[in-house]
Amino acid sequence: MWNIRRGGAALTLAVLAGCAETSAPQTANIVVIVVDTLRADHLPFHGYHKDTAPFLTGLAGEATVFDNAYSTSSWTAPATASLFTSLDPIQHGVVTGRNIGRKLRIANPTVTLGKIPDEIETLPEVLKAAGYATYGVSDNFNISQELGFAQGFDRFDTDWYRGADRINDVLKSWRPGIEENGKYFLYIHYIDPHIPYNGHEPWYEQAGDRRRDTLARYDSEISFVDARIREMYDLFGWNEETFLIVTSDHGEEFWDHGGTLHDKTLYDEVLHVPLVMRTPGGERAAARVSEHVSLVDLLPTIRDFARLEPGEHDLGVSLMGSVRGGGGRDEHSRNLYAHLLKRQAYGPPTLDMRALIHPEWKLITRAGHPSMLFDYAKDREERTDLATTLPERVRDLEAEVGEFETNIQRYTHASVRIDLTAEERRQLEALGYID
């Protein structure tokens, strides 16, 4: 466990233009829960046929649910770095991590990982500068001190897939200090739905074939972590004086397009994530929001809730207009982007993909391959590639991707070299991070 104190730049408390809130400093706590590898469409309030998450479903009934929320990548480190920084992966540079190729693992146990640059102010740094006590606990080794995620936390703990019970034990031990230190920001990263899928009783019932049994195990993992979130919600009393956000870093493939796991494609099964925001005391009426939103929107939203000035370099936008019930932005006003990069031991990337999520279209590009185009209004399962039918549309959207990457601000990418032990390599292979 690390105890880290690192102050961020001072921020001025302010009221955003048009905000109906008072100018007094926000006193409510802020809690962000990320459930790793959680597909939105495996939750009842997104239409799933099984009651995998009764607690989250109840929470969604008194919160704002964003029906079309998307990650910026299909694996943990770049997606969560975007959540922490409101930047695209090609901006913050966390595009390589402990998802390493077998050739790299064999060639050299020392790996070079992307790291959030020190010059980029992160979510915990923003809130620490605003007077919040900051705490973070993660069960995913990619959300670690080495990769820069501990910046700004008063107390930070990370582990290697020990399970939600262990995360809750840590939170229980921290609870007296958390509750004694005034308003707080708490980041919790559960990993349970990640491979290997454990069958948790009483939710798991063995199924006959491999696919059905895999799904049954995965669904039981969701139910297991749902119960553990309920435990912490009740223990800490997050029903009052807490702005609670529940989301995921990415989804999971179950043969939707012929593959499994994640960090291999940018289809919706790995990019579409749940996003639920509950204001203190459930003071706002429950709402469903259809606008397309991104993980890069969380930091601007939290700044807005905490009555802080907007970030100068935030890629995302505040969603508090929707959360407050006063209406959000035009849901057709912008494109969203996602990125996926993979390397082996030597040479250029072995996988370099981009996705553009347009209100009506989705484009997926891959270096060295033709782009794919899907009609988002009629084909959300991305079954029919229209790229050869609509080449001009493809060229227009490819140009938008190029313009986006040309014009956005880039930061000097940082990295860290880590020597993997034999046990760490074994765990990486068990978690599917060694191809």
Q: Compute the chain's Rg from CA coordinates.
A: 21
106 residue type, one letter: I
Q: What is the pLDDT of residue 435?
A: 58
Residue 116: half-sphere exposure toward Cβ, Cα within 13 Å: 30
Q: What is the pLDDT of residue 117?
A: 93
Instruction: Tell me the backbone φ, ψ of residue 30, rounded to 5 degrees.
Output: -125, 125
Lowest-pLDDT range, 32-41, 47-56, 144-153, 421-430? 421-430
Question: Which of the two residues, 121 and 9, has the higher pLDDT score?
Answer: 121
What is the domain partition of the chain in residue ranges? 29-327+334-339+407-430
Q: What is the pLDDT of residue 433?
A: 62
Average pLDDT score over residue span 23-50: 93
Q: Please determine, for residue 14, whether its predicted confidence score (pLDDT) is greater than 60.
A: no
DSSP letter at 40 equals: G
Lowest-pLDDT range, 2-16, 350-364, 389-403? 2-16
Q: Please determine, for residue 92, whether its predicted confidence score (pLDDT) is greater than 70.
A: yes
Q: pLDDT tens across 122-173, in order?
A: 999 999 999 999 999 999 988 989 899 999 999 999 988 899 999 999 999 9
Q: Please determine, for residue 22, whether its predicted confidence score (pLDDT) is greater than 70.
A: no
Q: What is the pLDDT of residue 434?
A: 60
Shortest CA distance to 250 belongs to which of 32, 34, 30?
34
Per the CB < 8 A criterion, the answer to whether 357 and 295 are in contact is no
Q: Please determine, for residue 5, whether its predicted confidence score (pLDDT) is greater than 50.
A: no
Shortest CA distance to 248 belongs to which of 82, 433, 21?
82
Lowest-pLDDT range, 21-35, 97-111, 335-349? 97-111
Question: Which of the two residues, 279 and 325, has the higher pLDDT score?
Answer: 279
Q: pLDDT tens across 199-228, in order?
A: 999 999 998 899 999 999 999 999 999 999
Q: pLDDT tens across 368-399, in order?
A: 999 999 999 899 999 999 999 999 999 999 99
Question: Which of the two residues, 96 and 341, has the higher pLDDT score?
Answer: 341
Which residues have CB under 8 Å from 344's CB, separation 6+? 101, 103, 104, 350
Q: What is the pLDDT of residue 316?
A: 97
Name residue, tokens 């007094």: 24
Give the E-state strand segments of 131-273 in sequence order: 133-138, 155-158, 184-190, 242-247, 253-254, 260-261, 272-273
DSSP code per residue over 327-363: --S-TTS--EEEEEEE--SSSS-SEEEEEEE-SSEEE
Residue 421: helix, strand or coil by DSSP? coil
Per the CB < 8 A criterion, the answer to whether 151 and 5 are in contact is no
For the chain, percent of residues with pLDDT exceeding 90: 74
**Hey, what are 263's tokens?**
């960090």
Q: What is the pLDDT of residue 16?
A: 38
Q: Where are the alpha helices (DSSP H) in 256-297?
A: 268-271
Residue 424: half-sphere exposure toward Cβ, Cα within 13 Å: 15
Q: What is the pLDDT of residue 141?
A: 86
Which residues have CB under 8 Å from 270's CB, separation 6+? 71, 74, 250, 251, 252, 253, 262, 263, 264
Per the CB < 8 A criterion, the answer to whether 147 and 80 are in contact is no
Shortest CA distance to 187 belongs to which of 219, 226, 157?
157
pLDDT band at 432; cut points 50, 70, 90: low
Q: What is the pLDDT of residue 58?
A: 96
Q: Where are the alpha helices (DSSP H) in 181-272?
A: 210-236, 268-271
Q: Is the dihedral of CA 372, 402, 353, 197 positive or negative?
A: negative
Q: Please determine, for residue 318, whether its predicted confidence score (pLDDT) is greater than 60.
A: yes
Which residues have CB under 8 Å from 402's CB, separation 6+? none
Domain 29-327+334-339+407-430: which CATH number of 3.30.1330.60, 3.40.720.10, 3.30.70.1070, 3.40.50.12280:
3.40.720.10
Q: Please determine, for residue 350, whether its predicted confidence score (pLDDT) is greater than 50.
A: yes
pLDDT band at 110; cut points 50, 70, 90: confident
Q: pLDDT tens across 53-80, in order?
A: 999 999 999 999 999 999 999 999 999 9
Q: What is the pLDDT of residue 8?
A: 34
Q: What is the pLDDT of residue 111?
A: 75
Distance CA 97, CA 105 (A): 12
Q: What is the pLDDT of residue 126?
A: 98
**Hey, what are 191's tokens?**
């990993």
How does the average pLDDT of the chain come out, rounded?
88
Q: What is the pLDDT of residue 246?
A: 98
pLDDT band at 13; cut points 50, 70, 90: very low
The end-to-end CA distance of the chain, in Å, is: 29
Name residue, tokens 């290997």: 196
Interstrand relation of 184-190 and 29-35 (parallel, antiparallel or unpaired): parallel
Give the E-state strand segments of 13-131 in sequence order: 29-35, 64-70, 110-115
